[in-house]
Amino acid sequence: MAQHEIEVILTRELASYLATAVFVVDPEGELIYYNEPAERLLGTRFDETGPMAMSDWTSMFSATDENDQPLKAEQLPLVAALQYGRPQHERFRIRGLDGGRRLIEVTAIPLLGQAGRFVGAAALFWEAGEP
């Protein structure tokens, strides 16, 4: 695998020190990192899943809105940040791979590096409470 852009490497290092759950994807939407707090929300460890294609991570956590209606992939903030290049915030439910159902709030931002290069996107997750 080729070396990631420095802005992505630095985002990962920052995320690895945060108690806030963070997801990082590359410009193609491949999930390339999530930190320990995100592992707790998702119910799985990054070392177990490894990098994941967008088609996989957008479906495997069974995202629904607050009325339990399934969300389409493009309704997920991270996908919107990737597709439209702008921040997006949503509140929705997921089912972690440990079976836990969680209400979360997610803010996703595109990562624009030096010279305006689009180097990926990151999402910050907050657990809003038990559904």
Stretch binding other proteins (CB under 8 A), from 12-20, 52-60, 86-94, 121-129: 12-20
Write down the least CB distance from residue 117 to other proteins, Å: 7
Task: State yes or no: residue 1 binds other proteins (CB under 8 A).
Answer: yes
Write down the least CB distance from residue 66 to other proteins, Å: 36
Task: State yes or no: residue 19 binds other proteins (CB under 8 A).
Answer: no
Which DSSP helix (H) or strand (E) runs through 129?
A: strand 118-129
Annotate each residue in 96-125 with x if it binds other proteins (CB under 8 A) or - if it does not, as one string. Answer: -----------------xxx-x--------
Q: Do the Cβ atoms of 30 and 52 come closer than 8 Å? A: yes
Reduce the secondary structure of 82-112 to three states and give it as a string: HHHCCCEEEEEEEECCCCCEEEEEEEEEEEE
Stretch binding other proteins (CB under 8 A), from 9-17, 84-92, 95-103, 121-129: 9-17
Angle at 20 between CA 122 and CA 116, to 5 degrees: 25
Site for other proteins in 57-76 (CB under 8 A): none
Q: Give the CA radius of gyration of the chain.
A: 14
Strand ranges inside 8-100, DSSP E: 21-25, 31-34, 88-95
Write down the least CB distance from residue 55 to other proteins, Å: 21
Which DSSP helix (H) or strand (E) runs through 119?
A: strand 118-129
Q: Which residues sit at the interface with other proteins, rule CB under 8 A?
A: 1-7, 9-10, 12-14, 16-17, 113-115, 117
